[in-house]
Chain A
Amino acid sequence: MEKSKYNEIVKKHTPKEDRLFNAMISFLTGGIMGVIGEILLHVYSYYFDIPTTEASTFMIVTLIFIGCLFTCFGFFDKWVGFAKAGLFVPITGFAHAMMSAALDFRKEGFVTGIGASMLKLSGSVIIFGVVSAYAFGLVRLIIFGG
């Protein structure tokens, strides 16, 4: 079959994604995640008397725990498939990536499976974050003096 004809057929049969719908859904879910974070921040700082900087750490840990637990129960994958960027851009996506890698590679053993491959998906976030933060920190240190 000719290549152009083949491409045409492929184009016809790939499911069309409604970009506007996707964008709206991710905006809504992302916004809801932000509101949940804000609520947790308020709860920790007002009802448990934790200073705001520490309360933000508590909030992030809570969200990570929720993300890990929901991934284990199996329905977080479906939610991510539906909400897409609304759920993997917040910190829950980081937890989801690490948790699903740990679950997937568990059968290959503890050291060669979990130990070696747990950071397979979320490692890029840490590596690029550290490298870019170091480079930009250096820039700021030299130009603005810290």
Chain B
Amino acid sequence: MNYINAFLFCGFVCLIGQIILDNTKLTAGHVTTIFVVLGAFLDIFSIYDKFVLWAGGGALVPITSFGHLLIHGALERAHNFGFMGLAMGMFDLTSTGIISCIVISFFLSFIFKPRD
């Protein structure tokens, strides 16, 4: 059942992205940026948490989860430290993704050559 939920949720997010891409002049970069902002926005009212509970991994794979994790880590620290906590915990949960992405692509770019 979890797999079906994951399929439906992740597919639906990608479907919205494709519809935006086809019907407006926005590029792929715009669409991913919009989704990150949307993910952060949905977390004001803890809506995205419910999506994660419902769809599991399916809600964590789209780029919306990036915004969700950013604001989640920030608020966790903000509990103890107030305003400064927002900046302290911002990358708590997403740092693994960003840093592994930077390191992996840095070293792989030594080995491989660009193809067109």
- Give the B-binding residues of A (Cβ under 8 A): 17, 19, 22-23, 26-42, 56-57, 59-61, 63-65, 68-69, 72-74, 77, 84-86, 88-91, 93-95, 97-100, 102-104, 106, 114, 118, 121-122, 124-126, 128-130, 132-134, 136-141, 144, 146
Cα distance A93–B53 when bound, in Å?
24
Which residues on A sit within 8 Å (CB–CB) of B31?
A: 85, 88-89
Specify the main secondary structure of chain A where it touches its partner: helix
Given known contacts A60-B96, A72-B108, A133 and B18 CB-to-CB distance under 8 angstroms: no
> Which residues of chain B in 21-57 are interfacial with respect to chain A, using CB atoms and an 8 Å cutoff?
21-23, 28-29, 31-33, 35-37, 40-41, 43-44, 55-57
Q: Mostly helix, strand, loop or mixed at chain B's interface?
A: helix
Complex formed: what's the CA distance from A99 to B21 in Å?
22
CB atoms of B41 and A29 under 8 A apart? no
B33 to chain A, nearest CB (A): 5
Which interface residue of B7, B15, B90 has the most chain A CB atoms within 10 A?
A: B15
Q: A94-B32, A94-B63, A128-B37 are in contact. Are A34 and B58 (CB under 8 A)?
A: yes
User: In the complex the two chains form, is A93's CB within 8 Å of B40's CB?
Assistant: no
Say yes or no: A137-B61 contact (C-beta < 8 A), given A68-B108, A94-B32, A129-B67. no
CB distance from A74 to the nearest CB of B (A): 4
Q: Is the CB of A103 within 8 A of B61?
A: no
Within 8 A of A (CB), among B65-82: 65-67, 70-71, 74-75, 78-79, 82
Judge whether B67 and A132 touch: CB under 8 Å: yes
Q: In the complex, A59 Cα to B93 Cα: how many Å?
A: 13
Partner of A23, one of B22, B37, B70, B106: B22
The answer on a CB contact under 8 Å between A27 and B12 is yes
**A35, A130, A138: which contacts B58 (Cβ < 8 A)?**
A35
Whether A60 pairs with B43 at a CB distance below 8 angstroms is no
Find out whether the CB atom of A30 lies under 8 angstroms from the CB atom of B11.
yes
Interfacial chain B residues near A31, Cβ < 8 Å: 6-8, 10-11, 14, 58
